[in-house]
Amino acid sequence: MATISKYQTSSGATLYRVRYRTPGRGQTDKRGFKTKRDAEAFSNSVEVTKARGEYVAPSLGRVTVGELGTAWLARKEGHLKPSGYRSYESAWRVYVEPRWRAAKVADIRYTSVQAWITELSKAKKLSASRVVTIHSVLAGILDDAVRDRMLAANPTRGVALPRRSRRPNVYLSPDQLHSLATESGRYGSLVLVLGTVGLRWGEAAALRVSDVDFLRRRVVLHENAVAVGGTTHVGTLKTGHSRAVALPQFVVDELAVTCVGKERDELIWPAQDGGYLAPPTHKSWLAGAVARCQKADKTFPRITAHALRHTAASLAISAGANVKVVQRKLGHASAAMTLDVYADLFDDDFTAVADKLSETVGKVWARGG
């Protein structure tokens, strides 16, 4: 049990000290209480946290965010894709470290974090997604501090974050996809693969001739070539698992033409230097193809290579694919994610279900059961 004693300061003031044992059987104390009631309240709280296994040594709470942040980031490096790690690293370096490096973890308050997030949210140059990432870095550091018993609770949890606004998906019609592929010249087969199969850019850029089974009309995806800071990193797919997807016959035919004269281990669409093809920019071959399509068709939308995945999803759904098929096709982690992104494409399914209920239950209802 804790003991409470009086002591006097050099100025003659009477204060109280609480001596108590830690869970490790060591002895420590906390002083500076102005009243005995305050000292007793602290003593009782210590005994409760010890009984619950939630005791946090006051000395551990004096460690700063700056001391913990670098080590936290280093631990993340081996578990994140290069693009994800870079996003966390820049968030730490540019926003979290300058604001919180000197802050002791025990001194960080929910209200201070909320005020900081609100300030970041008002910055015009920061998107909601970026603010969420910045918050997740500080929250992750303090989560580890809680696990290491430096904190009893994480003050960043429960902070109100800005809502991420999703841009409307852009979909090409079959005729528009054909036009874009035609205008893309030697990359026409790449446009068809992106627009009908729904590969991510890095998945398509890493495809080799040997990944395509021309007889079974299948392509096996097992690598992802992602450009991060001017360097291409080749690793596993975003989900960490390989997947195989079916190809329409006309896409197989176009791929066969593209692969003529290539060895099995060659990239299907290499860059001019023979390396991995970088994502198209606003001055790339894709931008030029889109501009030519828009010149011929005023309704042709501005579209990026990544947005061609949306076209692949819309064409699959219009062909009768259910949400699980679309999920596997696009390599989403879950069907819920697919529904979240493409809920608008399943509106017709909702109408069809209602019509079917009218034909079945509705008829029973009309004749009175």
> For the chain, what are the domain ranges?
3-55, 62-147, 174-348
Which position has the higher pLDDT, 24 or 50? 50
Residue linked to tokens 């409470």: 4
Number of alpha carbons in the 13 Å side-chain half-sphere of residue 141: 30
Q: What is the mean pLDDT of residues 339-352?
A: 70
Neighbouring C-beta atoms of residue 255, cutoff 10 Å: 21
Nearest in space to 199 (alpha carbons), one of 302, 311, 117, 322 = 311
- Neighbouring C-beta atoms of residue 368, cutoff 10 Å: 5
SS3 247: coil
Which tokens hold the place of 157? 């949890």
pLDDT range class, residue 211, cuts 50, 70, 90: very high
Task: Give the pLDDT of residue 247.
Answer: 92
Which pairs count as long-range contacts for 268-272, CB under 8 Å and 24+ apart, including other chains?
Answer: 268/189, 268/190, 268/207, 268/208, 268/209, 268/211, 268/212, 269/187, 269/189, 269/190, 269/204, 269/205, 269/207
Helix, strand, coil percent content, the chain, rounded in steps of 5:
50, 15, 35
pLDDT score recorded for residue 353: 57
> What's the confidence (pLDDT) of residue 204?
94
Confidence (pTM): 0.68
Beta pairing partners, 208: 267
> What amino acid occupies position 369?
G
Give the pLDDT score at 130: 93
Yes or no: say if 85 and 233 are a contact pair by the CB < 8 Å rule: no
Res. 58 pLDDT band, cuts 50 70 90: low
List the one residue out of 354, 347, 303, 304 whose CA is nearest residue 323: 347
pLDDT at 272 over 70: yes
Q: At what angle do helices 65-77 and 82-91 cross, to 10 degrees?
A: 170
pLDDT tier, 24 (very low <50, low <70, confident <90, very high otherwise): low
pLDDT of the residue at 319? 83
pLDDT of the residue at 148: 85
* pLDDT above 80 (res 230): no
The 10s digit of each residue's pLDDT in 67-102 is: 999 999 999 887 788 888 899 999 999 999 999 999
For 185, left (φ over 0), alpha (ψ -120 to 50), or beta?
A: left
Res. 350: pLDDT tops 60? no
Q: Rounded to an integer, what is the distance from CA 60 to the centroid of its chain?
A: 32
Which residue would you say has higher pLDDT here, 368 or 36? 36
Please tell me which residue, 18 or 368, carries the higher pLDDT value.
18
Q: Which two tokens stand for residue 37?
A: 């009631």
What is the average per-residue pLDDT within 16-27?
79
Q: Over 90: is that where the pLDDT of 30 sits?
A: no
Mean pLDDT of the chain: 87
- Mean pLDDT, residues 304-329: 88
Q: Say how far apart CA 340 and CA 323 lie, in whole Å.
A: 11
Which residue would you say has higher pLDDT here, 57 or 134?
134
Per-residue confidence band for 234, with pLDDT thresholds at 50, 70 and 90: confident
Q: How many CB atoms lie within 10 A of CB 248?
A: 15
Look at the domain 174-348 and name its fold: hpI Integrase; Chain A (1.10.443)
What is the pLDDT at residue 239? 77
Judged against a pLDDT cut of 90, whether residue 249 lies above it is answered with yes
pLDDT for the residue numbered 67? 92
Between 267 and 1, the higher pLDDT residue: 267
Q: Please report how many Cα atoms fall inside a 13 Å half-sphere around the Cα of residue 206, on the Cβ side.
A: 20
Would you identify the CATH topology of the domain 62-147?
DNA polymerase; domain 1 (1.10.150)
pLDDT of residue 178: 94
- Least confident piece of the model among 23-32, 137-146, 157-166: 23-32
14-21, strands of its sheet edge to edge: 3-8, 14-21, 27-33
Type and span of the H or E element at 8: strand 3-8
Q: How confident is the model at residue 165 (pLDDT cuts 50, 70, 90)?
A: confident
